[in-house]
Amino acid sequence: MAASSFTTRRAAAAVGVVLALSVPVSVVRTAIESTGAPNALDLFSLPFVAADLAYRIFGEVPDDQEPVTRLATWVGCRRAAAAAIAAGCLVCWFRYRRIEGFR
């Protein structure tokens, strides 16, 4: 919803969502693997956080051992997911409260 609040074109919103989901994953993974950054940096890659949170809620172990599973606690995953949801809600609220309603 936050991406669609910035544009009236569906294609631009779709590209924005794809970039917002794929760019942080590649940047974070590159930083961790090449520079030895801490695994906690994986909390910035939303797809990993969402998948790991689902695995931990249902008590399952992923087959491919996603990077976020190496974190010591799943509290960080819950907080990262909650922060992403809150950020999206705030963006929508700020963007849509300025729009005038027409009948």
| Residue 76 confidence (pLDDT) | 65
Would 103 be classed as within a structural domain? no
Cα torsion at 69, 74, 77, 83 (round to 10°)?
-170
Would 64 be classed as within a structural domain? yes
Condensed to tens digits (0 to 9), the pLDDT of residues 57-89 reads 787 776 766 555 566 555 666 777 788 788 888
Q: Is the pTM of this model over 0.85?
A: no
- pLDDT at 101 exceeding the cut of 70: no
Q: Domain count for the chain, please give it.
A: 1
Would 102 be classed as within a structural domain? no
Side-chain half-sphere exposure of 97, counting CA atoms within 13 A: 6
Would 90 be classed as within a structural domain? yes
| Residue 71 confidence (pLDDT) | 61
Residue 77 lies in domain: 10-96
Would 79 be classed as within a structural domain? yes
Do 77 and 54 meet the contact criterion of CB atoms below 8 Å apart? no
Would 66 be classed as within a structural domain? yes
